[in-house]
Chains A and B, each alone.
Chain A
């Protein structure tokens, strides 16, 4: 375990540390009250009942009552503080982590993996919360109680000190065994739980594929085996605990037996202890068990929380791959032209260990003028999506530079840059919510009129208006209750809503029919005349009217020009053309 992590957690309580101090004081009060009650009850018996003194009975009864109530209040108040501290820590860690994740770049996310980030944000925070509650609630009690009991014994009954220490050592050894042997088994169990969750998630997310290939039996077997592993992993620590919990009680009773035997013999012989001492000594031994028992609850929690804190702080300490410029060049977003220039750009994704991998783009140069449409065609995996992701700086170039209106994108503040550039990504991820939320995602508070205009341009308005609830209809997670083409059109509308200076559509109409696609393109042209448009596509028809078409292969631009030019000069383009639209028209015809 690493104290550093807890110190850092402690720093989250800045400004609220007084509550923790108060909690420690309350623990002290609680300990004193708990220890004082048996003494009072002994007095009640000895001085009240034994001597037949009713007023003494009431006197000590009253004191016991007061002590019990003060102890109860202190305990309840401390519980409130502990719960508050746990939730406070959870909330602040969670929000800090989430905020951090939202600033991370694509490269960071690729390496962290979103599924793993999710665990760090939920399960790990929960572990820290539970540990915090228990730590605040019981940790201060342990030393107080231990000290208090030992002091009491030393004052009242020094003769049982050796037995006390014997019991204490035995219990401590047992606790140590627990921490060393049992605790790691719980970590294994947590891993098995993660496996079960992972298998489950995959099988549910891919249920269509499972059914399509009739692999239920396979999934069943897979789940059966991870569930079986979990069963074993969960049973092992319980088997061990089955020794430890009764062993605690056994040790305690052995101590008590010893006291009865030794103390009892003394009492009968009339030397050393008397009967009152023997019963009191038994009570003290039970008290000794309390701090050990508490530790056996706290320490395992604390050590798993430590592991969780490490994982949480890893996220908090991650450095976004994309650094905002230190001295951003002032750009007037409203007046930006949107002239995009790639100047000898090369790029390669970094591998999981952070080292640079082989280049995906090499030596890319082109210019997209304001108001122009640039089409990008190219083989699967040739780097089209990669290329456009460099414009809004999802990744940074490894060589060369990308400029907008002559300014390197690395020198424009990210807010300005991403207000200028709007991208409709290849895989349209829609969030759950209403259709209105979906379309206006980037521009909350947009007027309905504007929304209709935008949706019409993306050809989404017509089908939306045909649904009973129209823009108030519910969109399920990832938009699963809409057809592929409908999802794409919603995603386009979402991108248009930002009214960008540079609009990027990454294969955004692949699931739309040609008529729809043509309508969308024309509408966008009308709506955003001055916007630079970069359109990635697989269909000739998507780029046929573009001012310039780039043909990509293996990370390079192998040809560029407009449709007519390419048809004349570029064999690859001719091939694509003929395979999609039939034989290439004669050279003369194309020029017409």
Chain B
């Protein structure tokens, strides 16, 4: 319970940040509720005036009715306006805070959490909080005010009748409360089914081409149909339990009238109090049951909001695993002296991926990395750029340990081309400029030319301004996307260059073009190049051969060939069988 209270309090704090407006809105809405409660009371006095034949009194009551109706309109309007402003501002704060925090988290957080799930934190969870803010919160506040005002008035009129009204109310409340309790779990169940449904749809629409190629349409529709049916069932339960509160609250009001009229009527007949009083109480008690049932209806909203807020706060409370040390200094300008000293690493504790790796790259050197798939090449890059922290050993650049400086100041000096070519759904120009915000159009175009991408870019309908829908997935060839990521890295103009299989989908002749550009870029910079196509790294100063997480050979191409070890056999296997002999002879 304290947990839930904590979540609610924390949510409210987002509102009270704007304390001036918040309290003004609260005050106005309380006034609004007071006027709303007063109006039926004036109608009561008007009735009495009519019964008493008091024309003067009636005129006064009518004027009061007019006056308070207008006041109610003004306070209600102002209160709702200000509250809307505050609550939307609070939601906006929450959204941006959540977004900023997610961005600060380390990659292993994203390894664990599917994007779809993170998306629903910022979308559907904030949505339920929105509903809570814009409906439930106001309802509850108004209900409290109405109940207090009306009860006070009822007590002033007749204590005994008030007790009767409350006896009936308590009985009804228990009834509504029971119903609303039952409805609670239905919503979290629904939430789960909805995320399963969305997840399935997202994955299979993105992969529709695969489904088609493997003729699994039938099965996939069947699976989807099942997921959809489950979601519909859960949705039915949740909607039903939510909607049922309306008939129940209406019926409660009716039952209350029956009970009051029945019991009260008999008492009146017995001569204990008069009819006028009973009729007034009938009206007054409706003034309580209405708001009260709103509160109960808000209950499930509140529960949803608490659950949503809990999930949102769980992310906000997550601390980045790879964090800057307090007071970490900025990385000085990198010369490019990289030292790996007995480095061990595992993504998942206990499952070592890299074991005891050491090497030294001097400034300006080109390092080639090769080895079987899954050997750990990309992993070396991941820890050099400090996406993950190592378990033991140390990594230093220019003698500075990379975990002692601010990560951003390190990464900004490194340009990477990642193994997965990722482009944003934006124009080609903006995608290139992504590497360096202040790059001019000319610089971006120059980089594209260097990367050999200018040709196909100009062939696109709008040249550099062509919009890449879905990150270019539907309109560029795989190699073209890789070339754009290379051009993007060239725009960065970094101190250290990393290419992870950057040209694997690019043909050799294009690659030669790119390499001429890269060579210019690499001038005086330390570079790490991962490639399965050995020609790509043949000219590297040092080639590291990695197998099963360890560097098993190192040296220049010539040295490694001479050694006739792992590298040599990898190299020779390119010629395959019969042809191997020919080249040896040549």
Contact = CB atoms under 8 A, between A and B. Distances in A.
Contact of A580 (B81, B206, B211, B533): B533
Contact of A512 (B211, B532, B579): B532
Interface string A51-81: 0111001100100110111011001100110
A219 B373 contact: no
26 contacts: A54-B269, A61-B265, A83-B240, A109-B208, A200-B123, A209-B418, A213-B434, A231-B88, A238-B80, A239-B84, A242-B77, A243-B77, A249-B69, A250-B72, A254-B66, A260-B65, A278-B50, A384-B477, A425-B210, A427-B478, A477-B114, A498-B214, A541-B574, A575-B509, A581-B574, A586-B586
A380 B66 CA distance: 79
A49 B213 contact: no
Contacts of A442: 214-216
A296 interface: no
B228 A209 contact: no
Interface in B562-586: 569-571, 573-577, 579, 582-583, 585-586
A25 to B, nearest CB: 16
A201 B59 CA distance: 63
Nearest to A427: B478
Nearest to A229: B92
Interface string B213-247: 11111011100110011011101100110011011
Nearest to A421: B213
Contact of B505 (A99, A201, A228, A426): A426
A10 interface: no
A224 B96 contact: yes
B184 interface: no
Contacts of A249: 36, 69, 72-73, 76
A79 B118 contact: no
B258 A95 contact: no
Contact of A209 (B110, B434, B535): B434
Interface in B46-91: 46-47, 49-51, 53-55, 58-59, 61-62, 65-66, 69-70, 72-73, 76-81, 84-85, 88-89, 91
Contacts of A6: none
Contacts of B585: 585, 589
A303 to B, nearest CB: 20
A511 B254 contact: no
Interface string A241-282: 111011101100110110011001101100000010011001
A94 interface: yes
B102 interface: yes
Contact of B206 (A90, A243, A429, A545): A429
Interface stretch (B148-156, B359-367, B392-400, B420-428): B420-428
A254 B69 contact: yes
A426 B419 contact: no
Nearest to B44: A279
How large, as a class, is the contact surface on chain B? 35 or more
Interface in B358-380: 370-374, 378
A485 B373 contact: yes
A11 interface: no
A365 B583 CA distance: 32
Interface in A92-138: 94-95, 98-99, 101-106, 109-110, 113-115, 117-118, 121-122, 129, 133, 137
A219 B510 CA distance: 33
B422 A209 contact: yes
Nearest to A485: B373
B509 A379 contact: yes
Given A72-B250, A480-B111, 13 more contacts: A49-B265, A54-B266, A61-B261, A75-B250, A86-B235, A95-B224, A201-B119, A209-B434, A223-B99, A246-B32, A246-B72, A256-B65, A382-B507
A330 interface: no
Interface in B404-421: 408, 411-412, 414-416, 418-420
Contacts of B446: none
B262 interface: yes
A204 B55 contact: no
A230 B179 CA distance: 36
B236 A203 contact: no
B39 interface: yes
Contact of A592 (B61, B372, B582): B582
Most buried by B among A381, A480, A485: A381
B335 interface: no
A515 B569 contact: yes
A541 B115 CA distance: 38
A418 interface: yes
A239 B339 CA distance: 61
Contacts of A104: 208
Contact of B228 (A95, A118, A212, A228): A95
A260 B50 CA distance: 9
B418 A208 contact: yes
Contacts of A515: 372, 569-570, 573
A218 B435 CA distance: 11
Majority-rule SS of B interface residues: helix
B418 A212 contact: yes
A246 B119 contact: no
Interface stretch (B13-21, B158-166, B197-205, B293-301): B197-205
Instruction: Give 4 nearest A-B pairs by CB, closest first.
Output: A485-B373, A380-B479, A246-B76, A75-B247
A16 interface: no
A513 interface: yes
Contacts of A410: none
B211 A102 contact: yes
B212 interface: yes
A582 interface: yes
Given A260-B58, A581-B574, A44 B215 contact: no
Contact of A268 (B58, B204, B434, B533): B58
A544 B576 CA distance: 8
B370 A99 contact: no
Nearest to A381: B477
B51 A205 contact: no
A86 to B, nearest CB: 7
Given A87-B239, A117-B205, A109 B478 contact: no
Nearest to B264: A49
B321 interface: no
B307 interface: no
Given A41-B261, A507-B478, A539-B533, A129 B235 contact: yes
A193 B123 CA distance: 9
Contact of A514 (B424, B508, B511, B570): B570
Contact of A87 (B66, B72, B202, B233): B233
Contacts of A133: 239, 243
Interface in A179-238: 193, 196-198, 200-216, 218-220, 223-224, 227-228, 230-231, 234-235, 238
Nearest to A429: B207
Contacts of A31: none
A94 B54 CA distance: 65
B556 interface: no
B269 A49 contact: yes
A238 B248 CA distance: 29
A477 B118 CA distance: 14
B77 A431 contact: no
Contact of A380 (B197, B255, B480): B480
B43 interface: yes
A61 B262 CA distance: 6
B246 A418 contact: no
Interface in B103-127: 103-104, 107, 110-111, 114-116, 118-119, 122-123
Given A64-B258, A76-B244, A486-B373, A210 B575 contact: no
A216 B103 contact: yes
B235 A90 contact: yes
B268 interface: yes
A8 interface: no
B103 A214 contact: no
A50 interface: yes
Most buried by B among A69, A129, A442, A513: A513
